[in-house]
Amino acid sequence: MKSFDVPVVYRSPLISAIKKKRKDQDRMKKDFSPTLLDFGPVHIYLARHFGFCYGVENAIDIAFRTIEENPGKRIFLLSEMIHNPQVNADLQNKGVRFLQDTKGRQLISFESLTGEDIVLIPAFGTTLDIESRLRSIGIQVEHYNTTCPFVEKVWNRSEAIAGNRYTIIIHGKPSHEETRATFSHAAANAPVVVIKDMQQAEALAQYMLGEKPPSAFYNEFKDQFSEGFDVEAHLQRIGVVNQTTMLASDTQAIADYLKSVMIKKYQLTDENVKEHFADTRDTLCYATNDNQSAVKGMLQVEADLAIVVGGYNSSNTSHLVELCEEKLPTFYISGEEKIISPSTILHYDFHNKTELLTEHFLPSKLPVNILITSGASCPDAVVAGVIEKLIAFFPDAKIPDEVLLTLD
């Protein structure tokens, strides 16, 4: 796989050594058990897969190389490069300015841009309308486009099933940048509906089966369907794709459910179901799959708590938190500074979009067993900082170099 020039500040000698050792031992990526870091009074179980993915490293490489190669030029980011506060802050500190926020609200007018300016397209991609507007100004969109190849894979898959006259159902978060971009590309070729979860899939099925009046659809799915969508005509042949960072199990469950609805409605068999349901392969990216599988493997270990590190607006990170929350106390933090003391942690409740202060988060027993993972946009250096902060609370803990020597 291609390697990228990522600033050394985002790397960690500790994490790099662990990842290299695991890769050498498991080149086929079949072992999803965590790595035990035995510091003595504290045992840290590090997920098999976590941190920067291909798409994120590609975006960071392009962004920092663009800054280096264009001194004196005005450089803008369409919106956040990735959902990580440290990386976005570093880019801003180098003079890069954001044109929009993550919801698509304008921060700097496109009218203020010229053809001499550089606009970086983030890893999530963007809409066809925005691409067209930037080109009309003279902006070289293709040259500074960091769209993740796995997001583009979803767009290509959508185009393929649209070519066979299927309506496209996108499992994703309607306001997320990636879903907005995928919606735009898909809607250029076919009718499209975005559904957030199984509850909305079940609501959609009621219209497919004629259990709800078609007129109610346009209010219930307001702002989640393409222009000219005809609920009676466009739900007869469908295919499901997804935002690449959703929970794999959720997407699969939704696809299986909607397929069963089509079988019921048209009295189909597995042999002829493709007449009404596209044979779509899962469009989740490899890193999302690996990271979620690694968390499930990590959760097989008996532990006292889990810590998930990443940006608070990161979709893939929030799903790792969801998985951990099902089994044990879980603390979602953006970095080591959120661990205030051995007894106090400031963590994010993404369900209610607020930070919480929790006391006595570390148990008094020894050893303390902690599970740790991070999202695909989180630098390894941030994870290493969290580990170092935790072990500093235990005066008798071994140093990282000593622990590395004992790894199997």
Convert the pLDDT of each residue in 290-313 to its tens digit: 999 999 999 999 999 999 999 999
| pLDDT above 90 for 280 | no
Q: For residue 66, which amino acid is it? A: T
As a whole number of angstroms, the distance between CA 275 and CA 272 comes to 6
Q: Residue 188: what pLDDT? A: 97
| 178 catalytically annotated | yes
- Give 210-243 pLDDT, tens digit per residue: 999 999 999 999 999 999 999 999 999 999 999 9
| pLDDT above 80 for 279 | no
Q: Residue 396 contacts by C-beta under 8 Å, 6 or more apart in sequence? A: 40, 41
Q: For residue 373, what are the CA distances in angstroms to 57, 101, 309, 331?
A: 18, 27, 6, 11
The pTM of the whole model exceeds 0.85: yes
Q: Residue 194: what pLDDT? A: 98
Active-site residue, selected from the candidate residues 80, 178, 232, 336: 178
Task: State the pLDDT confidence band at 282, using cuts at 50, 70 and 90.
Answer: low
The mean per-residue pLDDT over the stretch 60-83 comes to 94
As a whole number of angstroms, the distance between CA 151 and CA 349 comes to 27
Nearest to 407 by CA among 31, 29, 34, 27: 34
- Give 114-163 pLDDT, tens digit per residue: 999 999 999 999 999 999 999 999 999 989 999 999 999 999 999 999 99
Q: Residue 17 contacts by C-beta under 8 Å, 6 or more apart in sequence? A: 404
Strands (E), 252-380: 305-309, 330-333, 339-341, 344-349, 354-359, 368-374
- Give 158-210 pLDDT, tens digit per residue: 999 999 999 999 999 999 999 999 999 999 999 999 999 999 999 999 999 99
Task: State the pLDDT confidence band at 405, using cuts at 50, 70 and 90.
Answer: confident
As a whole number of angstroms, the distance between CA 260 and CA 251 comes to 14
As a whole number of angstroms, the distance between CA 295 and CA 46 comes to 9
Place of tokens 């189909």: 268
Cα-atom radius of gyration of the chain, to the nearest Å? 23
Q: For residue 252, what are the CA distances in angstroms to 160, 217, 290, 380, 393?
A: 20, 24, 16, 30, 42
306 CA to centre of own chain: 19
Task: State the pLDDT confidence band at 1, using cuts at 50, 70 and 90.
Answer: low
| pLDDT above 80 for 284 | no
The mean per-residue pLDDT over the stretch 77-84 comes to 91
Nearest to 377 by CA among 93, 58, 144: 58
Q: Residue 166 contacts by C-beta under 8 Å, 6 or more apart in sequence? A: 190, 237, 238, 239, 278
The mean per-residue pLDDT over the stretch 328-344 comes to 97
| pLDDT above 70 for 388 | yes
DSSP string across 87-120: HHHHHHHTT-EESB-TT--BSS-GGG--TTSEEE
Domains and CATH numbers, the chain: 8-53+286-405 (3.40.1010.20), 54-144 (3.40.50.11270), 149-275 (3.40.1010.20)
